[in-house]
């Protein structure tokens, strides 16, 4: 069976923080013996950000298609020093009819005893080549040891989760922190996601799960086009991506000029989904005795787009995209696969991590 590389629901909707920068207050200087030691700048923000994104994509995609019995250790911890797995996935760089599954082996380990850089070795069994990646390339951008936030913990750890059907699976969390100096001030960014190997993944066919998958499919297409600066044609995209691209653009713009940035616009994606997938009205679900219009949201304004910011909320009155009310008091927690309610929260221009933090601080409760 052909397996296409991509992002799974369970690994992305529980993704945390999504590269939200943390401003470290005060000048990062240390006085020692009367001298000042300044923070190394390392590579520029956009360079190290792109490096982290590519490494994360490589790890989560290959781990998603890993063979369960090959993962060693099965449950890595913060003290782990080497992590190995093997698997195979469909080569999406080829036409669907011509491609084939390609086998690989992945080894992730510390480059040396300082635990400041990772060495990721991908051995492509089918093609017979080997690629070694060091992350971050510039050690000055390393944040694996960073004040009291990171102390050389291995970036891949595991936990056991219980699915809706009662089965237990091992879920792997990947954390890649980076640092750089922006406008003379030190910055810390952390990319985190969780992965369940695909054969253990339970597809969520609920209204919430379907909405997230539909939104994610469009956003991932927009990210692919933006990342590669594509002027899309059939050779750049898979058959399904090309079909979605044309349908989206036709429905949004008709015969007018197409704007690829609309594929990473929350308002436009919502408009397409409610009109083309749900006939003009968001689906209704009864939550705690209240009929709610169930709909997606993703913070995409003036930030790098990431699917980890997609979440679901419910509204009593807003049934389409003709009007918006971002003050909500019903939100679906993808991690717990449960609805929560409480004092209203303004969700506009907020990441999922920020919204979830406000839910906790305001004492939101689980809907029974």
User: Within this chain, do residues 183 and 80 fall inside the same structural domain, yes or no?
Assistant: yes
Tokens standing for 81? 């020093």
How would you classify the pairing of strands 168-182 and 185-195? antiparallel
Of the pLDDT bands very low, low, confident and very high (cuts 50, 70, 90), residue 204 is low
User: Within this chain, do residues 342 and 238 fall inside the same structural domain, yes or no?
Assistant: yes
* pLDDT tens digit sequence for 207-220: 998 999 899 899 98
In a domain, 3, yes or no: no
User: Within this chain, do residues 187 and 260 fall inside the same structural domain, yes or no?
Assistant: no
pTM above 0.85, yes or no: no
- Please count the other Cβ atoms lying within 10 Å of the Cβ belonging to residue 295: 24
1, pLDDT greater than 70:
no
7: left (phi over 0), alpha (psi -120 to 50) or beta: beta
In a domain, 172, yes or no: yes
Q: List the Cα angle 47/304/53 in 5-degree steps.
A: 45
- Please count the other Cβ atoms lying within 10 Å of the Cβ belonging to residue 197: 22
Last residue of a domain, one of 165, 199, 233: 199
- Residue 328 backbone dihedrals phi, psi, to 5 degrees: -130, 155
Of the pLDDT bands very low, low, confident and very high (cuts 50, 70, 90), residue 35 is very low
Tell me whether the omega of the peptide bond preceding residue 73 falls within 30 degrees of 0, making it cis. yes
Q: Please identify which residue in the block is written with the tokens 């993704």.
A: 15
User: Within this chain, do residues 61 and 183 fall inside the same structural domain, yes or no?
Assistant: yes
User: Within this chain, do residues 74 and 213 fall inside the same structural domain, yes or no?
Assistant: no
- Rounded CA-CA distance 169/175 in Å is 20
User: Within this chain, do residues 195 and 212 fall inside the same structural domain, yes or no?
Assistant: no
- Please count the other Cβ atoms lying within 10 Å of the Cβ belonging to residue 308: 27
236, pLDDT greater than 80:
no
User: Within this chain, do residues 214 and 180 fall inside the same structural domain, yes or no?
Assistant: no
User: Within this chain, do residues 160 and 189 fall inside the same structural domain, yes or no?
Assistant: yes
Last residue of a domain, one of 136, 171, 199: 199
Of the pLDDT bands very low, low, confident and very high (cuts 50, 70, 90), residue 82 is very high
193, pLDDT greater than 50:
yes
The tally of CA atoms less than 13 A away on the side-chain side of residue 38 is: 7
User: Within this chain, do residues 274 and 136 fall inside the same structural domain, yes or no?
Assistant: no
User: Within this chain, do residues 97 and 58 fall inside the same structural domain, yes or no?
Assistant: yes
Nearest in space to 188 (alpha carbons), one of 198, 197, 178: 178
Report how far Cα 258 is from the mean position of its chain's Cα atoms. 27
Last residue of a domain, one of 177, 199, 221: 199
Q: Are 313 and 331 in contact (CB under 8 A)?
A: yes
Tokens standing for 343? 């004092």
Residue 172 lies in domain: 9-199
* pLDDT tens digit sequence for 115-138: 999 999 999 887 888 999 999 999
Tokens standing for 139? 């050690």
In a domain, 1, yes or no: no
194, pLDDT greater than 50:
yes
State the helix-helix crossing angle for 207-227 and 239-253, rounded to 10 degrees: 90
Q: Are 88 and 103 in contact (CB under 8 A)?
A: yes
More confident position, 266 or 232: 266
How many domains does the chain divide into? Answer: 2
């Amino acid at each position: 069976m052909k397996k296409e590389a991509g992002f799974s629901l369970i690994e992305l909707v529980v993704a945390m923080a999504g590269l939200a920068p943390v401003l470290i207050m005060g000048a990062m200087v240390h006085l020692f013996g009367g001298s000042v030691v300044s923070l190394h700048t390392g590579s520029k923000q956009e360079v190290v950000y792109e490096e982290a994104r590519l490494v994360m994509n490589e790890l989560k995609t290959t781990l998603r298609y890993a063979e369960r019995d090959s993962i060693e250790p099965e449950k890595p911890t913060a003290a782990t020093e080497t992590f190995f797995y093997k698997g195979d996935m469909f080569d999406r760089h080829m036409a669907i009819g011509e491609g084939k599954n390609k086998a690989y082996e992945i080894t992730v380990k510390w480059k040396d005893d300082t635990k400041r850089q990772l060495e990721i070795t991908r051995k492509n069994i089918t093609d017979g080549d080997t690629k070694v990646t060091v992350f971050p390339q510039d050690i000055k951008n390393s944040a694996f040891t960073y004040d009291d936030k990171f102390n050389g913990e291995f970036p891949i750890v595991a936990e056991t989760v219980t699915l809706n059907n009662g089965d237990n699976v091992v879920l792997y969390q990947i954390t890649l922190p980076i640092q750089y100096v922006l406008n003379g001030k030190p910055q810390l960014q952390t990319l985190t996601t969780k992965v369940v190997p695909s054969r253990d993944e339970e597809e969520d066919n609920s209204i919430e799960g379907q909405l997230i998958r539909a939104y994610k499919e469009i956003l991932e297409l927009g990210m692919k086009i933006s990342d590669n600066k594509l002027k899309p044609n059939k050779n750049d995209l898979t058959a399904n991506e090309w079909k979605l691209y044309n349908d989206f653009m036709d429905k949004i713009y008709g015969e007018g000029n197409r704007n690829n940035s609309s594929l990473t616009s929350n308002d436009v994606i919502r408009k397409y989904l409610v009109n083309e997938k749900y006939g003009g009205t968001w689906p209704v679900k009864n939550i705690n005795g209240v009929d709610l219009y169930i709909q997606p949201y993703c913070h995409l304004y003036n930030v790098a787009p990431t699917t980890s910011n997609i979440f679901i909320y419910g509204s009593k009155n807003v049934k389409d995209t003709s009007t918006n009310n971002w003050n909500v008091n019903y939100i679906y927690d993808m991690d717990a696969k449960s609805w929560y309610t409480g004092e209203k929260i303004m969700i506009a221009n907020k990441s999922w991590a920020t919204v979830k933090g406000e839910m906790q601080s305001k004492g939101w409760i689980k809907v029974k």
